[in-house]
Amino acid sequence: MSRQPSDLRPPDPGRPRMPGAPPHDPPGRGDQSRRWLFIALAGLAIAVLFLPSLFSNKTTTSISYTSFLATLKNKQVATATVNNTNGVVTGKLKSGASYTVDGPDPSTSAETDAMLAAGVQVSYTTPSSSLLATLLPEVLIILLLVGAFIWLNRRLQGQMSGIMSIGRSKAKTYSTERPHTTFADVAGYPGVKQEISEVVDFLKQPGRFRDIGARIPKGILLVGPPGTGKTLLARAVAGEAGVPFMSVSGSDFMEMFVGVGASRVRDMFQVARKQAPAIIFVDEVDSIGRKRGAGLGGGHDEREQTLNQMLSEMDGFDATEGIVMMAATNRPDILDPALLRPGRFDRQIVVPLPDLEERLPIIQVHCKDKRVAQDVDLSILARGTPGMSGADLANLVNEAALHAVRRGSAQIETRDFEAARDRVLMGQRRESLVLSDEEKERVAYHEAGHAVLACTLPNADPVHKVTILPTGMALGVTQQLPIEERHIYPRGHIEDSLAVRMGGRAAEMIIYGDLSTGASNDLVGNTELARKMVREWGMSNQIGPMAWGSQGMVFLGEDLLHSRDYSESTSRVIDEEVERILREQEERAMKLLTDNKAGLVALATALLKKETIDGSEVIHLVNTAKEAGVTAQPEQPTRELPTQPTNPNGSPDPTITIAVRDTQ
């Protein structure tokens, strides 16, 4: 059975529905009945007007008045009936045929004398008009005016009802008769599901908790990055709970009229109390739950009124029993402190990015309804997707399916997943972009510098793939994948990451003796990472164990006029330390590439021939050249052609280098 949202408003008390009874007539059926009744009445009126003429005597012959006089003169007319209303003469000839003729109106005495002289049986008739035929045009006009008035009145009532109902809640309710998503459909996150399932168990069996004196949290706040499945977990609660579940978005409370948001909050809780026990889920609660008085100019009055009403309904003067509030947000730092205190949102459940053990079941869930080849190892795919959320993994599997369709394959193979991962991480390959030989050579040495250092440095992530094919916004990519999940990054790993990013710049200096624009984004990423080492992570001997976080968002109004927490002299020391760290890693990269110049040249030569090399071949080329001990001298280019800047692509933590990307 599928779950469909129904109207939040309770059913009409005058129309009770017993269990097993058929549902009430859907809206609009009465309007259709009235429409068919109107069509039937119109058809009846048309039949009354036109059917008599259709069934009239078709054997009557219409003749001209001249022919009638000639026939009358020859004494061929047997009978004649004169209509006093319109002068029409009807009758029969002696031959038995019927006739009709339009005579003078009114009839003349000469005509009558001629008929009497010819021995015609003359009679006069004055037909009375039909009451229905007389009144039908007026009745139709009246009905038309009444119908137009009723239609206009209903339109006005609809508009007025829309205006009057603007303060009603737009929340959708889900009943227990239509389950859809359950906890079995949510892969991974066992701890999160356990905490949420406690709420469901309490609402289903409250006696177990009351006997021991436990009180269920009034509010549960799901916090996590976008795409981690917060709304999916809420839908699973709707499928598991045996109580009404009401879902609404935070933006549904805001309208152009002042006070509408607060009115909708009151109406939502009023309906929830009637259906208690019940669960209310507010998605994107940060749209109405931002800190009060923190915006430019004193805040947003309408949003703050809505928030005040929600705070009062959750834990105000009137106690709310049997209603559990659930909300989801990816910005808990901007929520009002009064909303997060115990008694309102008692429990915050973090829904983080999935780790290796959680990514595998998530990928398996998304591959469940797809035709995947038997040789596909999903565990390798899970290991190669660090930092991806559940939505990213769903998109990755879908991209693999699309790639298989483009290839004309009947199933998804390993190369489809590889192509999809490259598509998601690096972008679509640009077939239309053609590099010259000089540009390809410089890009090859640039990427070879990254790859050689990634193979040489002990703490660097291993190389997965190196390519000089233009992909996405990149002219070349060195992709690295970590061996295992990391949650704490030592200083050695961060320094090796800085050195790997310096590899492209160092390789150009060694081979060409000058620089190009290819290392632009490499330097941007390294500068940001080195500044974090000094300012936030305390990895500088000159600064010591001190940390200064990043500036807050200006739109909150907290840091608009906020000065720095450190002096000008400290700022100078920070800049000097950042410069020292970057110069040390640049010198380190230069030394390592000079010692491994043979591997650098061998790898660049292989890239110019094959354009794409995987990680195992990179290691083989570097080790073979190092064992041979022969340093090949590349040909110097005839002219300098700067490459495009490099853009590092990493996981959510900047210390993990997944791919070093050369962008335009």
Report residue 257: phi and psi, to 5°.
Answer: -95, 140
DSSP conformation class of 27: T
Give tens-digit pLDDT for 122-159.
Answer: 777 776 666 666 676 777 788 888 888 888 877 766 55
- Measure the CA–CA gap between 658 and 388, rounded to whole angstroms: 12
- What 312-321 contacts at long range (C-beta under 8 Å, 24+ apart), as own/partner pairs, is 313/265, 313/266, 313/269, 314/218, 314/219, 314/343, 314/344, 315/218, 315/343, 315/344, 320/218, 320/269, 320/273, 321/276
Residue 277: per-residue pLDDT: 77
- Measure the CA–CA gap between 590 and 119, rounded to whole angstroms: 139
Among 348-357, 465-474, 523-532, the minimum mean pLDDT is found in 465-474
Give tens-digit pLDDT for 242-266.
Answer: 777 787 877 767 665 566 777 777 7
Average pLDDT on 434-463 reads 87
Q: At residue 227, what is the residue type?
A: G
Q: Which of 491, 501, 544 is nearest to 526 (CA)?
A: 501
Give tens-digit pLDDT for 155-210.
Answer: 766 555 554 455 455 555 655 545 567 787 788 788 888 888 877 777 777 777 77
Of the residues 284, 447, 577, 586, which is catalytic?
447
Q: At residue 115, what is the residue type?
A: M
Angle of the 491-501 helix axis to the 568-595 helix axis, nearest 10: 70
Among 115-119, 228-232, 389-393, 558-562, the minimum mean pLDDT is found in 558-562
Spatial contact of 556 and 291, defined as CB atoms under 8 Å apart: yes
Confidence check: pLDDT of 520 > 80: yes
Percentage of the chain surpassing pLDDT 70?
73
Positive or negative: CA dihedral 485, 488, 490, 495? positive
Residue 207: per-residue pLDDT: 75
Q: Which of 331, 328, 321, 287 is nearest to 307 (CA)?
A: 287
**Residue ranges, CATH 1.10.8.60, the chain:** 356-426
Residues 6+ apart with CB under 8 A from 475: 433, 435, 439, 443, 468, 643, 644, 662, 663, 664
Spatial contact of 607 and 466, defined as CB atoms under 8 Å apart: yes
- Measure the CA–CA gap between 146 and 152, rounded to whole angstroms: 10
Instruction: Using CB atoms within 10 Å of the CB of residue 366, give its burial: 0 to 12 exposed, 13 to 18 middle, 19+ buried.
Output: buried
Spatial contact of 506 and 593, defined as CB atoms under 8 Å apart: yes
Spatial contact of 600 and 452, defined as CB atoms under 8 Å apart: yes
Q: E strands within 257-359?
A: 278-283, 323-329, 347-350
Confidence check: pLDDT of 26 > 50: no
Q: How confident is the model at residue 220 (pLDDT cuts 50, 70, 90)?
A: confident
Average pLDDT, the chain: 75
- Looking at the domain covering 356-426, what would its CATH class be? mainly alpha
- Measure the CA–CA gap between 664 and 79, rounded to whole angstroms: 107
* Residue 576 is a catalytic residue: no
CATH number of 54-130: 3.30.720.210
Residues 6+ apart with CB under 8 A from 511: 445, 600, 604, 634
Residue 289: per-residue pLDDT: 77
Would you state the structure tokens that stand for residue 526, as one six-digit string? 């390294």
Angle of the 568-595 helix axis to the 503-512 helix axis, nearest 10: 60
Q: E strands within 84-164?
A: 88-92, 98-102, 121-125
How far is C-alpha 460 from the geometric centre of its chain's CA atoms? 38
Residue 183: per-residue pLDDT: 80
Spatial contact of 444 and 613, defined as CB atoms under 8 Å apart: no
- Measure the CA–CA gap between 507 and 515, rounded to whole angstroms: 9
**Residue ranges, CATH 3.30.720.210, the chain:** 54-130
Spatial contact of 457 and 501, defined as CB atoms under 8 Å apart: no
Percentage of the chain surpassing pLDDT 90?
11
Which position has the higher pLDDT, 458 or 470? 458
**Residue ranges, CATH 1.20.58.760, the chain:** 437-663
Report residue 572: phi and psi, to 5°.
Answer: -65, -40
Which position has the higher pLDDT, 321 or 384? 384
Give tens-digit pLDDT for 577-596.
Answer: 999 999 999 999 999 999 99
Residue 526: per-residue pLDDT: 92
CATH architecture classification, 172-350 = 3-Layer(aba) Sandwich (3.40)
Would you state the structure tokens that stand for residue 262, as one six-digit string? 């607060």
Q: What is the DSSP string of 116-131?
A: HHTT-EEEEE-PPPPH
Give tens-digit pLDDT for 37-56.
Answer: 667 777 776 666 655 555 55
Which position has the higher pLDDT, 631 or 390? 390
Q: Which of 275, 314, 276, 181 is nearest to 237 (CA)?
A: 181
Would you state the structure tokens that stand for residue 483, as one six-digit string? 């061996």
- Measure the CA–CA gap between 431 and 170, rounded to whole angstroms: 48
- Measure the CA–CA gap between 561 and 479, rounded to whole angstroms: 42
Residue 462: per-residue pLDDT: 87
Residue 130: per-residue pLDDT: 61
* The CATH number of domain 437-663 is 1.10.3720.10: no
Residue 313: per-residue pLDDT: 79
Would you state the structure tokens that stand for residue 146, as one six-digit string? 């009444």
Report residue 660: phi and psi, to 5°.
Answer: -100, 115
| Its pTM surpasses 0.75 | no
